[in-house]
Structure 1
């Protein structure tokens, strides 16, 4: 999995009372899940989902020009409905731990799994369009 970096920053709320908001600068090793706290696991799940989403968008953009106009319109409509389904379904899955610290990991994990499955299907369509 990718690594993320955080930086330190200072935030001033007024001229008289500066408030420092410090985040320790460190690499986040998402491959070492045994040594991550929950916040870090949540961040890693989000990073992983973003990578899955990039792959989905690449496959989608590769497929669109391979389709005839009528099929392209249907794919666009299907993709819009699929996005709503994915988001709603993963929101439901997250609701089992609503408000808990595990909720983001559950949500982004679901988004990632669902997105990977859709990417696989889009790649199948690409292969079929090439034949």
Structure 2
């Protein structure tokens, strides 16, 4: 039973790790040509770097748009979010003990960073 649950979790995480590829042509192209786990992790890492730059710009804009206590709250929330993202993705990246964990972990980091960038952009508006 435990082994079945792990296998199901691994499949779900693998699906989630590639979910953003459907919305991202550059990532999809990279993943389509990836032949190894290392290639897939590299694809995720390249796009995560792009999304991290986006996240940092969105954070700076969102922070500049806040006043008083809200500015400090956003700083606190962002620090907590980074800790959560890192812990969550470390957990996702260690589900099976197999090589797919690397893809799941890097995909988690990419997906969460992309989603958080969007949340921060939404604080400021279009």
Global fold match (TM > 0.5): yes
Relative contact order, CA 8 A, sep 6+: which one is greater? 2
1:27-106 maps to which residues of 2 (within 5 A)? 31=30, 33-98=32-97, 100-106=98-104
CA 1:88/1:39 → structure 2, altered by over 3 Å: closer, same or farther? Answer: same
Asked whether the 8 Å contact 1:30–1:41 carries over to 2, the reply is no
Change (3 A) 1:36 1:76: same
Q: Which has the higher strand share?
A: 1
Q: How many matched pairs? A: 101
Equivalent residue for 2:22?
Answer: none
Where does the alignment leave 5 or more consecutive residues of structure 2 unmatched? 1-25
Where has structure 1 moved over 4 Å in runs of 4 or more?
none
Which residue matches 2:14?
Answer: none
CA contact 2:31–2:43 (8 Å) conserved in 1: no
Larger-Rg structure: 1
What's the offset of the Cα at 1:90? 0.8
- Alignment map for 1:110-129 (pairs within 5 Å): 110-127=108-125
More helix by share: 2
What's the TM-score once normalised by structure 2's chain length? 0.71
Whole-angstrom CA distance in 1 between matches of 2:49 and 2:34: 22
8 Å contact from structure 1 (residues 46, 105) kept in 2: no
